Amino acid sequence: MLGIGILQRYVIRQLLGSFALALLAISSIIVLFLVMAEAAKAGLGLDQIVQIAPYLIPGTLPYTVPVALLFSVTVVYGRLAGDNEITAVKAAGLSVWTVLWPCILLSIVLSGALYLAASHVIPEANHAVKRVIFSNYEQTFTTFLRRDRILNNPNWPFVIIVKDMEGDDLIAPVFKRRAKINGRDGFDLNIVAKRARLSFDMERAMVRVFLVDATIQPLEVPPEELLKNDALRAPLPRDAGDARTIAAIIAREGVFDRPDSLYRIEARGVSDRTLIEPVVRRKGRDGDSDLVVTGETAVLADLADRPGLLITFEDPSVRARSRASDVGFINEQILEFPLPANVRVSLPPKIVQEMNADELLDKQAELRELRRNERIRQAVAASMWIASGRLQRVNWPEVNRAFREYDDWDYYDRKLETEKQMRIALSCGPFFFALLGAPVGILFAKRDYLSAFITCFLPIILIYYPLTLLGINLGKEGVLDPMIALWMGNLTLSVLAGLVLPNVMRH
């Protein structure tokens, strides 16, 4: 029954011929649309489009192969039944499986090949698209500005926002300079121009921006944002000494002030590291104070991350000088700022769709290890320091991170598991498509072949793919086990095949 005779070889040849033709036609259309969409989204040039086109083909296979096979089996088996060859097989005392098993065998082979491609080839192809886009950094830079209208890379000293792009020109750009404000990320300078153009000096690792009709204005920082929990961070020269040394200087001289120090600290009296009626002034560029903080008392402590003081006030009063008068106007001038040190080799990290099967499993193992042990480890370490009375030794940021990021680790793990199960489920699509398409093609023997294909394809469009998309969301959100969620579509096709297959076997 499973021997490869003349009939089986004929069926296989017919299946392969129509499958190859259908796959070529469907893939060409889908790749064309994908290339157009990618080019529009990323603003790619013609040379980049030519380079990425071959890498887009593998990603279409989990969708084009099952549909092409469905078209092939409905056409081939519909034609066999229409020519009464199925009837002749039954008249010879043979089972319909004599002509069906070549189709099932082909679908199993295609499913296995798709799984291998989904596990290794497709992720690598997806990542190769990113490598092509990022191969020319200058072109990539303008590409992302053209697409997103904003470039907000935390490694860059500026955030760049544009209204539009004309060629390589930035229209109405805004450059916001990053700065640490009392230990928090913020901005201290705005540059607004009518037009700008960027060029890259890769040898010096610099970005040069040619500005037209630009205004430069320091940003106002609300006084209440300058203190965090009534504490002011005051970076000082490295050789200024620790908190006790500076307190001793203030006790002896009444003031701490050095030409190379950004801060001037004075007080009416000092008790250990506590200042009585302190006045802390931050020096502006013109020598005057642009920030003055006073209070009844203040306690000096050392900054943990750099030389300087953490000054905690009791009942602080803050006065900040307006810097609106510092607005300047420049035209046809060049602004320079450095590229990140690793700009030439850096790529955004791999997303889930770019990870091969081994990387998925390794990442899942890492996340599950973090979920299992990290909160316990941080809690035990913190409790030991607390029990010994050394609260200052507790690494509160790490404790907070472990508890805050637990849900993120859990979600990312579900996302990885959903991706893994989706690859398996979609890879099995050819088998279930063929299981449904072949008997339907035989039942529609006396009608046109397109009707049989549409009859199979409608439930796939209306039920199978919506169930697959629903399963992806349910799996990521943890509502359903990803394996159950992603196999709902395949199970639906198997039920439909079970309804039509007995009729083909009997009649």
Q: Dihedrals φ, ψ of 258, to 5°?
A: -130, 150
- Write the CA distances from 324 to 174, 320, 390, 439, integer angstroms: 18, 12, 46, 79
Q: Which residues of 358-378 are buried (b: 16+ CB within 10 A; e: fewer)?
A: eebeebbeebeebbeebbeeb
> Can you give the pTM of this predicted structure?
0.60
Q: Output the pLDDT for position 1.
A: 47
> What is the mean predicted confidence (pLDDT) over 311-317?
84
Residue 326 has pLDDT above 90, yes or no: no
> What is the mean predicted confidence (pLDDT) over 159-173?
85
> What is the mean predicted confidence (pLDDT) over 274-283?
88
HSE on the CB side for 415, CA within 13 Å? Answer: 12
pLDDT, one tens digit per residue, over 68-100 is 999 999 989 888 888 788 888 778 777 788 888
> What is the mean predicted confidence (pLDDT) over 13-42?
84
pLDDT, one tens digit per residue, over 454-483 is 888 888 899 999 999 999 999 988 889 999
Residue 222 has pLDDT above 70, yes or no: no
pLDDT band for 150, please (50, 70, 90 cuts): confident
Q: Output the pLDDT for position 345.
A: 42
Q: Which amino acid is at 464?
A: Y
393 vs 265, which has greater pLDDT? 265
Q: Output the pLDDT for position 402.
A: 66
> What is the mean predicted confidence (pLDDT) over 339-348?
55
pLDDT, one tens digit per residue, over 357-371 is 999 999 888 888 877
**Both structure tokens of 394:** 């507790």
Q: Output the pLDDT for position 325.
A: 44
118 vs 333, which has greater pLDDT? 118
267 vs 382, which has greater pLDDT? 267
Residue 221 has pLDDT above 60, yes or no: no
Q: Output the pLDDT for position 11.
A: 87
**Both structure tokens of 70:** 């469905």
Q: Output the pLDDT for position 450.
A: 74
Q: Output the pLDDT for position 464.
A: 92
pLDDT, one tens digit per residue, over 200-217 is 776 666 778 888 888 877
| Residue 155 CA from chain centroid, whole number | 17
Q: Output the pLDDT for position 73.
A: 92
Pick from 104, 115, 209: nearest CA to 156 = 209
pLDDT band for 491, please (50, 70, 90 cuts): very high
